[in-house]
Structure 1
């Protein structure tokens, strides 16, 4: 039981150090769109690889 709790705590710490995932970065970027046209443009940018090097 203690080992499982240790593993969970260690996992949480690693997730916080690692930072946001690629999916989260993309979702944040899309959520900042101001119109449907801006959203479509941003979606196309993501499809073309805007965040692949992230």
Structure 2
């Protein structure tokens, strides 16, 4: 996850460990493509086998 997203997530619980986000995307006719952050999480390669 890029540093600018970590700034946005600073108020999320456990933000220092999170490395992925779940977003909802939609087209706003004024602002264009918009992504809302629904949740932040931690992905471990041990779980995903990678």
Normalization by structure 1: what TM-score? 0.22
As a proportion of its length, which structure holds more helix? Answer: 1
Larger Rg: 1
